[in-house]
A and B are shown apart, each in its own frame.
Chain A
Amino acid sequence: MARLLEYEKARALLDRYGIRSIDSRYLQSGKEAASFAEKGNIAMKAISQKALHKTKSGLVVLNVSSDNAEKAFAELSKKAEKYRPYRILGQRMAPSGLEIIVGGRTDEQFGKLILIGLGGIYVEVFRDFALRVCPISRHDAESMIEQLKSKSVIAKDTETERMLVDLLLKVSKMLSENDITELDLNPIILHEKGYDAVDLRVMV
């Protein structure tokens, strides 16, 4: 049975492969939330095995400042009651930018697959993605980006393209070396300083 890997473990796994994800930590109290938000606004998510679609379940609050963190924490905890057991994750708000998805899954015929596509809310609408079998070569990574209809917006310059190729190679290595049945890094936000994986879902 597929199991969702705990957020901190998932983040540590990404770290090991040099895949950037946004600064985040589990919050035990409203106080902790307020102090985490001092360095900049945060998002809070209630995470539970029983609610895989956080946005749909209303278990996400965005752009929380230090001042209203305690109130937001209390409200979110109330909503999350019915999904017990749950934990609340605080996450630095990501800079705005284009949202992409990088993912993977284990296919029963061909083994590990890796995917890149236009992400966020557009994933299911445009279904613009490229898929390959792991491990991929640099040429494979380049051809995946080349294949996207949205290539010109996703890889808007050679620097971004190189960054995405490197990211794909790292994710491919991670998929190949670990027992991961499904992986969603969605969205990954592309911004001026690079990228950040904002939401992670690793099924093991």
Chain B
Amino acid sequence: MDIKTRRKLFDILMAPRSVAIVGATSNPNKVGHIILQNYIDVGYDGAMFPVNINAKQGDRIMGYKAYRSIKSIGKQLDLVVIAVPAEATPSILEECRIAKVKSVVVVSGGYAEIGRKDLQDKLVEITRKSSFILMGPNCLGIMNTRARVDTLFLPTFKIDRPKIGGVSFASQSGAVGSSILDMIDAEGFGLSKFISYGNAIDIDEVDILDYLARDDETTVVIFYMEGAKRGKEFIEAAKEITAKKPVIMIKGGATEAGATAAHSHTASLAGSYQAYEAVFRQFGITQAKTMQDVMDFAKMFETQPFPKGRRIAIITNGGGVGVIATDALYEAGLELASFSKESEKALRKIMPPIVNIKMPMDMAGDADDKRFAAALEVASSDPNVDAIMVIALFQTPGADSRVAASLINYSATRVKPIAVVSPGGSYTQAHRNMMESSGVPVYSSPDQAARAFKALLEYKEYRDSIR
């Protein structure tokens, strides 16, 4: 299959106009039921065909006419989702091949991951002879929030479906996939595509990066992978996508022992995991070491413009947290900015005498929205400031929703990147939600914000280096 056809099929897979769900049933405990239910819940408006081998003439499953086989549908199918036990899958895949289906997602597990490589090989063999592309097996499949496609077998009441946005997320592992997906919603940023690709017998990392690079609805990519199947092509796909948009990678298997014996110092230092890290660094992929970093980086990348450099202004309504934040900046390899003479003069006029116009600028506990807005305006036009970390402690007497509103207003100007640090309980949480849903990245502690700034800066430097 040539690359053009493959790309066309991938586009169809991600926004199919007709879907058959094999294994669909009225039994709510079965995976096939949940998938069908999800399609209904998210409001998919294409044609839907439940398939169940035990269906009788005239049977309906959840209101849809039921079919005994792919063949009996008698229509061209964009996507077939297979959710029947592994043993039964090859024969259904063979039906898909004969019916010239465009794409297939095999959600069922029970293949190479449990030692049944023989069964997996059967799927590979049929797929090679076919004209479809296949995702899986052993995966959650896909979600496309705009096209209202959802092949996940996770009930909507157990896992929150994120709102529509620009972040796309691909995961080799279904478990990491579903937990990060749930976190994405909790962190308040929007999702474009979710792709869980499992054992990757056909569609792999390279295809997915290629698709997400081409997809204009995707502005930021999150990726979890354990290993790439095609190293050289992976590098090409990485170069292609990172020239356009950031990719945040979390790579499993850091502590894996090297597979080959080392004859040299070089080989003992630079094992296979280090090779991955080298590739990520060299080709502009942002590596995150923890799931929390993934979230922290993604919301920064999604909402903020690039900083020009590493000088960060700290504006706070609490002195101590400002000091901790300063340490966090240097820890992350950034610097504390210092105001220009003009800025100092302007601020001296605005701020009450109690405020010391020095970085980190402590505006005191009674700082209100006007003080925050004025400080932001000055920092924003100061040539010595590349980005702004605002510490907004909502426990203080001066801070209320008006402070949150002024931070939202500033963030919308997109002049310089901003990160807000607001640790706290339920009152703070309410304001965090307000800000996050308006595209302001909010963090619980300064070190998270500092690392996110650093990630943004490093990606910006990469983009500069390839210009």
- Comparing B29-37, B270-278, B422-430, the segment that makes contact with chain A is B270-278
At the interface, yes or no: B265 with Cβ under 8 Å from chain A?
Answer: yes
Instruction: State how many angstroms separate the Cβ of A49 from the closest Cβ of chain B.
Output: 11
B228 — which chain A residues lie within 8 A by C-beta? 109
At the interface, yes or no: A115 with Cβ under 8 Å from chain B?
Answer: yes
Q: Is the interface of B mostly helix, strand, loop or mixed?
A: helix
Instruction: State how many angstroms separate the Cβ of A51 from the closest Cβ of chain B.
Output: 12
B279 — which chain A residues lie within 8 A by C-beta? 110, 133
When the two chains form their complex, are residues A182 and B263 in contact, meaning their CB atoms are under 8 A apart? yes
Instruction: State how many angstroms separate the Cβ of A111 from the closest Cβ of chain B.
Output: 7
- Bound complex: CA of A183 vs CA of B234, how far in Å? 25
Number of A-B contacts (CB under 8 A): 88
Instruction: State how many angstroms separate the Cβ of B424 from the closest Cβ of chain A.
Output: 36
A140 — which chain B residues lie within 8 A by C-beta? 282
Max chain A C-beta neighbours (<10 A), residue from B263, B265, B266, B270 = B266
At the interface, yes or no: B156 with Cβ under 8 Å from chain A?
Answer: no
Mask: chain B, 101-132; 1 = CB below 8 Å from A; 0 = not: 00000000000000000000000000000000
A residues lining the B interface (CB < 8 Å): 2, 4, 52, 101, 103-105, 107-111, 113, 115, 117, 123-124, 127, 129, 131-133, 136, 139-140, 143, 147, 182-184, 186, 201, 203
Nearest chain B residue, comparing its CB with the CB of A2: B263
When the two chains form their complex, are residues A110 and B232 in contact, meaning their CB atoms are under 8 A apart? yes
Max chain A C-beta neighbours (<10 A), residue from B264, B268, B277 = B264
When the two chains form their complex, are residues A115 and B269 in contact, meaning their CB atoms are under 8 A apart? yes
Instruction: State how many angstroms separate the Cβ of A57 from the closest Cβ of chain B.
Output: 15
Max chain B C-beta neighbours (<10 A), residue from A110, A129, A136, A203 = A110
Tell whether A101 pairs with B265 under 8 Å between CB atoms, given A107-B272, A132-B278, A133-B279: yes
Tell whether A109 pairs with B265 under 8 Å between CB atoms, given A115-B270, A132-B282, A140-B282: no
At the interface, yes or no: B85 with Cβ under 8 Å from chain A?
Answer: no
When the two chains form their complex, are residues A105 and B266 in contact, meaning their CB atoms are under 8 A apart? yes
At the interface, yes or no: B397 with Cβ under 8 Å from chain A?
Answer: no
A203 — which chain B residues lie within 8 A by C-beta? 263-264
A52 — which chain B residues lie within 8 A by C-beta? 263
Instruction: State how many angstroms separate the Cβ of A175 from the closest Cβ of chain B.
Output: 11
When the two chains form their complex, are residues A182 and B266 in contact, meaning their CB atoms are under 8 A apart? yes
A143 — which chain B residues lie within 8 A by C-beta? 281, 465
Mask: chain B, 437-455; 1 = CB below 8 Å from A; 0 = not: 0000000000000000000
- Bound complex: CA of A151 vs CA of B281, how far in Å? 18
A183 — which chain B residues lie within 8 A by C-beta? 264, 266
When the two chains form their complex, are residues A113 and B264 in contact, meaning their CB atoms are under 8 A apart? no
Mask: chain B, 235-246; 1 = CB below 8 Å from A; 0 = not: 100000000000
B266 — which chain A residues lie within 8 A by C-beta? 101, 103-105, 115, 182-184, 186
Tell whether A103 pairs with B268 under 8 Å between CB atoms, given A131-B275, A132-B282, A133-B279: no
- Bound complex: CA of A147 vs CA of B277, how far in Å? 13
Q: Apart from A109-B231, A110-B232, A113-B270, what 13 extra A-B contacts exist at CB < 8 Å? A: A101-B266, A103-B265, A103-B266, A107-B275, A109-B234, A109-B276, A111-B231, A113-B278, A127-B269, A129-B270, A140-B282, A183-B266, A186-B265
At the interface, yes or no: B88 with Cβ under 8 Å from chain A?
Answer: no
Nearest chain A residue, comparing its CB with the CB of B282: A132
Within 8 A of A (CB), among B308-359: none
At the interface, yes or no: B267 with Cβ under 8 Å from chain A?
Answer: yes
Instruction: State how many angstroms separate the Cβ of B322 from the closest Cβ of chain A.
Output: 28
Instruction: State how many angstroms separate the Cβ of A189 from the closest Cβ of chain B.
Output: 15
- Bound complex: CA of A147 vs CA of B280, how far in Å? 14
Tell whether A182 pairs with B267 under 8 Å between CB atoms, given A110-B275, A132-B282, A139-B465: yes
20 A-B pairs with C-beta separation under 8 A:
A4-B263, A52-B263, A101-B266, A103-B266, A104-B266, A105-B270, A108-B272, A109-B227, A109-B272, A110-B278, A124-B265, A131-B270, A139-B465, A182-B262, A182-B264, A183-B266, A186-B266, A201-B264, A203-B263, A203-B264
B282 — which chain A residues lie within 8 A by C-beta? 132-133, 136, 140
B264 — which chain A residues lie within 8 A by C-beta? 103, 105, 182-184, 186, 201, 203
B270 — which chain A residues lie within 8 A by C-beta? 103, 105, 113, 115, 129, 131
- Bound complex: CA of A73 vs CA of B365, how far in Å? 79
When the two chains form their complex, are residues A133 and B265 in contact, meaning their CB atoms are under 8 A apart? no
Instruction: State how many angstroms separate the Cβ of A179 from the closest Cβ of chain B.
Output: 15
Within 8 A of A (CB), among B33-62: none
B272 — which chain A residues lie within 8 A by C-beta? 107-109
A129 — which chain B residues lie within 8 A by C-beta? 269-270
Nearest chain B residue, comparing its CB with the CB of A52: B263
When the two chains form their complex, are residues B231 and A107 in contact, meaning their CB atoms are under 8 A apart? yes
- Bound complex: CA of A2 vs CA of B263, how far in Å? 9
- Bound complex: CA of A113 vs CA of B275, how far in Å? 7
Instruction: State how many angstroms separate the Cβ of A75 from the closest Cβ of chain B.
Output: 27
Instruction: State how many angstroms separate the Cβ of A156 from the closest Cβ of chain B.
Output: 21
Nearest chain B residue, comparing its CB with the CB of A201: B264
- Bound complex: CA of A104 vs CA of B263, how far in Å? 12
